[in-house]
Amino acid sequence: MFAEDGGLRDRFMDTGWPAREGAAYYSELVGNPDAVCLLAREDRVAGHLVGRIGRSSMRPGAVTGVLESMRVDPAFRRRGIASALVERFFEWAGSRGVNEFSVSAYSSNEAALALYGKHGFAAFETKLIRPIS
């Protein structure tokens, strides 16, 4: 996902991060009751979704289900796997008192934006970046 999405869209994305730090990062998810890692399998792993429950003292009434990371293998796309992962995440987070959901996507990733829009996500904030050449 880093190389396929961020590596193509963000010149500062460290595409080596998963190999260096991914194992420790995902291991922390296993024992965290406010995190979930969902896998979709067919004959092999077809996709994954990582989500967390977020709380902020700046928004005390919000309990946010943060869809942190999702990827479906290109060989398995357009089969409803991403939608199934998102819906399962909604169920998991909803059972834990979440009252809103958030996800970030690159503005140039039209497929991701369309998928998230189909599941009720709408623009809330806009992050603007001005690169320095």
Facing residues of 67 across strands?
51, 103
Question: What is the reported pLDDT for 122?
Answer: 95
66-103, pLDDT tens digit by residue? 999 999 999 999 999 999 999 999 999 999 999 999 99
Q: Taking the domains of the chain in order of start, what are their residue ranges?
A: 34-118
Residue 29, both tokens: 């998810």
pTM over 0.85: yes
Cα separation, 2 vs 44, in Å, equals: 20
Q: Which CATH architecture has domain 34-118?
A: 3-Layer(aba) Sandwich (3.40)
**Spatial separation of the C-alpha atoms in residues 85 and 127, rounded to whole Å:** 26
Question: What are the helix (H) ranges across the chain?
Answer: 7-9, 17, 23-30, 81-94, 110-118
